[in-house]
Amino acid sequence: MSVLVTGGAGYIGSHMVLALTDRGEDVVVLDNLSTGFSWAVAPQAEMVVGDVGEQTLVERLIRERGVNAIVHFAGSIVVPESIADPLGYYLNNTVKSRALIAAAVNGGVEHFIFSSTAAVYGMPEVNPVDEEAPFDPISPYGSSKMMTEIMLRDTAAAHDLRYAALRYFNVAGADPKRRSGQSTPRATHLIKVAAQAALGDRSHLDIYGTDYPTPDGTCIRDYIHVTDLIAAHVLALDHLRGGGDSLVANCGYGDGFSVKEVVAAVKAASGVDFEVRIAERRAGDPAALIAGAEQIREKLGWTPEHASLDEIVTSALAWEEHLRSSDRVA
């Protein structure tokens, strides 16, 4: 029996593949390599280059490889890009997920783990925001992920499939063994951009808005180390395999840091005082998003081991340096 990991050549997916192969599981990766890298896939895993929207391909993989669980990371992830290209996001994140879920049902796959997002909450009225808060996305990205959660909920009610929808807050950091990390050259995420600025790959970092209703005027986010996030996925898989109910859970620490605090942490960890410019607000940014993170601890027994902003930024910087010292894309 094997686990199908979609988007397994991407940033977060590749860490899941490492975690699964580290514990001896058979893994099939399906990735179209639009943003991922085949070198990021653990050598013990089978790599299939293809699209999750190709339902017949997925059905064949399920049949031939004996897939009994799917972990679905493949998708588009940049909030402002989704505002400029909503239909592209609904295609990649919603329509193709529908094909994947249909293949899972047709192939009798019983366990499904989905990369959802805090963006399904939009601008929550209270922070920390817990899973009881209503869906209220403010970007096509958030809406595209919300729709997939709804498809999973309704499919699980009608068919023999149980799922975990894990709502990620802001994921950063890299594998402590330096086997994978955030490797997209033109990544837009704050900690990656700051690490690139610290290493001289960017002339400066723009802070998008200093007039938010937060203590220092910049947006607050809950940053989670990718290793802790993946530990939650492994626990969710074991939970479903052990007969546990479907679940929806926030993945964050319950602590918020402002953009200015993150920039200060990267400057301190790198020892580089890179240039920072104040820029206009970016479309689609809520002022604050902090996880109400009780469920995941209670239902899955999750205990984070890397819950420190310094550790996250140090790990991101180390990966950024590793990319430069290897012949990998930086």
Interaction of residue 197 with ligand UFG, rule CB under 6 A: no
Interface residue with ligand UFG, options 69, 101, 205, 313 (CB under 6 A): 205
Q: Which of 11, 90, 112, 208 binds ligand UFG (CB under 6 A)?
A: 208
* Contact residue for ligand UFG among 109, 118, 265, 316 (CB under 6 A): 118
Q: Is 200 exposed, middle or buried (0-12, 13-18, 19+ CB in 10 A)?
A: exposed
CB of residue 296 vs ligand UFG: minimum separation in angstroms?
A: 16
**Closer residue to ligand UFG, CB minimum distance, 217 or 244:** 217
168 is catalytic: no
The dihedral of CA 136, 141, 144, 149: what is its sign?
negative
Which of the stretches 92-100, 182-190, 291-299, 303-311 binds ligand UFG when contact is defined by CB under 6 A? 182-190
User: Does residue 188 interact with ligand UFG by CB under 6 A?
Assistant: yes
What residues numbered 217-256 form the site for ligand UFG, per CB under 6 A?
A: 219, 221
C-alpha to C-alpha distances, 39 to 44, 47, 153, 277, nearest whole angstrom: 12, 10, 34, 35
d(CA 174, CA 11): 9
Using CB under 6 A, count the residues that bind ligand UFG.
Answer: 21
Beta strands in 159-208 (DSSP E): 162-168, 170-172, 204-208
Within 8 A by CB and 6+ apart from 186, the residues are: none
Q: Provide CB contacts within 8 A for 210, sequence distance 6+.
A: 216, 217, 218, 278
Binding of residue 285 to ligand UFG (CB under 6 A) = yes
Q: Which lies closer to ligand UFG via its Cβ, residue 49 or residue 283?
A: 283
In 3-state terms the chain splits into helix, strand, coil percentages (rounded to 5) of 40, 20, 40
d(CA 30, CA 50): 6
**Binder of ligand UFG out of 9, 12, 77, 100 (CB under 6 A):** 77
Active-site position among 11, 89, 141, 212? 141
CB of 282 to ligand UFG, least distance (A): 4
Distance (Å) of CA 187 to CA 81, 194, 329: 12, 11, 12
Residue 310 token pair: 């310094």
Cβ neighbors of 179 (< 8 A, separation 6 or more) are 18, 42
Q: Which stretch binds ligand UFG (CB under 6 A): 97-105, 153-161, 188-196, 231-239?
A: 188-196
Q: 2's torsion region: left (phi>0), alpha (psi -120 to 50) or beta?
A: beta
The piece of 34-42, 68-76, 150-158, 189-197 that touches ligand UFG (CB under 6 A) is: 189-197
Q: Which of 190, 232, 235, 251 binds ligand UFG (CB under 6 A)?
A: 190
Residue from 41, 101, 207, 313 in contact with ligand UFG (CB under 6 A): 207
- Footprint of ligand UFG (CB under 6 A): 77, 79, 117-119, 168, 170, 188-190, 193, 205-208, 219, 221, 259, 282, 285, 289
Known catalytic residues?
Answer: 141
